[in-house]
Amino acid sequence: MTIKTVGVVGCGLMGSGIAQVCAASGYKTIVREVGDVVLQKGLGRVKKFLDDGVAKGKVAPEARDTTLANLSGTTTFEALKDCDLIIEAIVENLDEKRQIYAGLETVVGAHTIFLSNTSSLCITELAASTKRPDKFGGLHFFNPVPIMKLVEVIRALTTSDETYQTVFAFAQSLGKEPITAPDRPGFIVNRLLVPYLLDAIRAYENGLGTLEDIDKGMKLGCGYPMGPFTLLDFVGLDTTYYIANIMFEEFREPAYAPPPLLKRMVLAGRMGRKSGRGFYSYEK
Ligand code: 3HC
């Protein structure tokens, strides 16, 4: 099937990045947020990224203008009625996601594909909460969305072959490198990344080294772009804690159990870069 108009629900860090890459790839893109203030903040993030890209010589001024012309914002479901494909990128809350799908189903056509950018919820469970379980899948992007090349395409038990093929081709059309991941907690990347990050916290708690030395070790010794604690702060400690809990609940293996320090940092509000403090301080 041909995708021309794309909807994105949620204009936070991930949603705005997703909307940006869709608009940059030539799709008419409409991004929906609950209120105008958050919407304008998200659209402002897209504009800043593109302006910075022009200043760095990475984005042509015409490409920036075309991307912004393809992109519009809304606070209604009605504005998404003509979308061929809608990517939901809201908070990781099953009930809130269900409410979004129910709202969308009152306006869209029967052909519209729904995708979730969830990093950990069960795609089959999300699909089953809609009236289109065959036209539902997971499309998991990585932060920062405009820069990271990978997306994971996840089939629910109910996803049809046609939907899967359309979504895979759509991901390629965004200039991304898709891989097919199973509908299991963490899919492929977080399944391997999260235990590594949790292990780094446990090792730090056990006195393996300073935060700086562990980060430096993994960055310079293994060629990773960021050490584990810089990456934890970048991803968000609350996000990591949330994913770890879902993985531990499903697999019951100690490797996925969130370490006590992670839990306490989240309880103390130290979420990483976004809260100004995580393992490192970002307060100015
Ligand atoms: N417009 C266009 N291009 C831009 C740009 C802009 N505004 N800003 C930066 N870029 C380009 C740069 O030119 C550069 O391109 P090049 O490699 O061709 O020269 C590239 O993007 C990298 O940008 P910077 O030089 O500004 O920054 P760094 O080199 O410091 O890289 C980083 C930053 C990409 C964030 C890197 O540190 C990294 O890859 N970190 C790891 C990120 C990661 O692991 N993400 C996944 C997290 S897990 C996840 O998201 C899953 C979830 O479910 C938890």
What's the pLDDT tens digit per position in 99-122? 999 999 999 999 999 999 999 899
* CB 149 less than 6 A from any atom of ligand 1: no
pLDDT at 284 over 80: no
Q: What's the 123 CA to ligand 1 centre distance in angstroms? A: 27
What's the pLDDT tens digit per position in 212-261? 999 999 999 999 999 999 999 999 999 999 999 999 999 999 999 999 99
Mutate to test the pocket of ligand 1, among 147, 190, 197, 220 (most ligand atoms within 8 A of CB): 147
Please confirm, yes or no, whether 119 is among the known catalytic residues.
yes
Task: Tell the residue nearest (CA) to atom 7 of ligand 1.
Answer: 53
Please confirm, yes or no, whether 152 is among the known catalytic residues.
yes
pLDDT value at residue 22: 98
* CB 225 less than 6 A from any atom of ligand 1: yes
Q: Which two tokens stand for residue 165?
A: 């093929």
Asked whether 219 and 225 are in contact (CB, 8 A), the reply is yes
Q: How far is CA 29 from CA 81, 88, 157, in A?
A: 12, 13, 28
pLDDT value at residue 231: 98
pLDDT value at residue 245: 97
Q: What's the 231 CA to ligand 1 centre distance in angstroms? A: 12
Q: What's the 148 CA to ligand 1 centre distance in angstroms? A: 6
Question: pTM to 2 decimals?
Answer: 0.96
Please confirm, yes or no, whether 253 is among the known catalytic residues.
no
Helix%, strand%, coil% for the chain, nearest 5: 50, 15, 35
pLDDT value at residue 239: 95
pLDDT value at residue 243: 96
What's the pLDDT tens digit per position in 44-86? 999 999 999 999 999 999 999 999 999 999 999 999 999 999 9
pLDDT value at residue 213: 98
pLDDT at 3 over 90: yes
Ligand 1 atom with the shortest distance to the CA of 49? 7
62-88 burial string, b = 16+ CB within 10 Å, else e?
A: eebeebbebbebbeebebbbebbbbbb
Gap between the terminal Cα atoms of the chain: 49
Task: Considering the chain, tell me which residue range(s) the CATH 3.40.50.720 domain(s) occupy.
Answer: 5-181
Task: Considering the chain, tell me which residue range(s) the CATH 1.10.1040.10 domain(s) occupy.
Answer: 189-274
What's the pLDDT tens digit per position in 168-212? 999 999 999 999 999 999 999 999 999 999 999 999 999 999 999
The active-site residue, picked from 16, 88, 120, 152, is: 152
The active-site residue, picked from 116, 119, 120, 275, is: 119
Q: What's the 147 CA to ligand 1 centre distance in angstroms? A: 5
Overall residue count recorded for the chain in this entry: 284
pLDDT value at residue 224: 98
pLDDT value at residue 220: 98
| Alpha carbon distance 101, 115 (integer Å) | 10
| Alpha carbon distance 32, 44 (integer Å) | 14
In a 3-state reduction of DSSP, which class is residue 257? coil
Name residue 137's beta-bridge partners: 115, 155
Ligand 1 atom with the shortest distance to the CA of 193? 48
* CB 53 less than 6 A from any atom of ligand 1: yes
Radius of gyration of the chain (CA): 19
How much is the average pLDDT of 133-161? Answer: 98
Q: What's the 72 CA to ligand 1 centre distance in angstroms? A: 25
| Alpha carbon distance 13, 116 (integer Å) | 15
Does 3.20.20.30 match the CATH number of domain 5-181?
no
| Alpha carbon distance 224, 215 (integer Å) | 9
pLDDT value at residue 103: 98
Calculate what percentage of the chain has a pLDDT beyond 90.
Answer: 99
Asked whether 166 and 1 are in contact (CB, 8 A), the reply is yes
Mutate to test the pocket of ligand 1, among 58, 176, 197, 233 (most ligand atoms within 8 A of CB): 58
pLDDT value at residue 1: 78
* CB 142 less than 6 A from any atom of ligand 1: yes
User: Which of the four pLDDT bands, split at 50, 70 and 90, describes residue 137?
Assistant: very high
For 189-274, CATH number?
1.10.1040.10
